[in-house]
């Protein structure tokens, strides 16, 4: 709606908590996948703390 950000696609991953998402991102398991993802093309990643109600 604002800011001019019009990505060609959006992927949403859900984690049990913000801390678990950070833990996964920095994990040894994800490191090789991250390297491949970054090499494959341009991308942006954001971490959003959601609401669990």
At 29, the pLDDT band (50, 70, 90 cuts) reads: very high
Q: How far is CA 26 from CA 2, 15, 21, 52, in A?
A: 30, 14, 9, 23
d(CA 11, CA 46): 11
At 27, the pLDDT band (50, 70, 90 cuts) reads: very high
Rounded to two decimals, what is the model's pTM? 0.74
Q: What average pLDDT does range 39-45 have in this prediction? A: 90
Token readout for 5 is 């950000």
d(CA 12, CA 42): 17
Contact assessment for residue 49 and residue 14, using Cβ atoms and an 8 Å cutoff: no
How do the domains of the chain map onto residue ranges?
14-42
With a cut of 80, say whether residue 51 has pLDDT above it: no
């Amino acid at each position: 709606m604002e800011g001019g950000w019009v990505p060609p696609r959006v992927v949403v991953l859900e984690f049990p908590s913000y801390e678990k998402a950070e833990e996964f991102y920095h994990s040894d398991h994800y490191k090789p996948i991250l390297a491949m993802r970054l090499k494959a093309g341009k991308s942006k990643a954001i971490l959003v703390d959601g609401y669990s109600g």
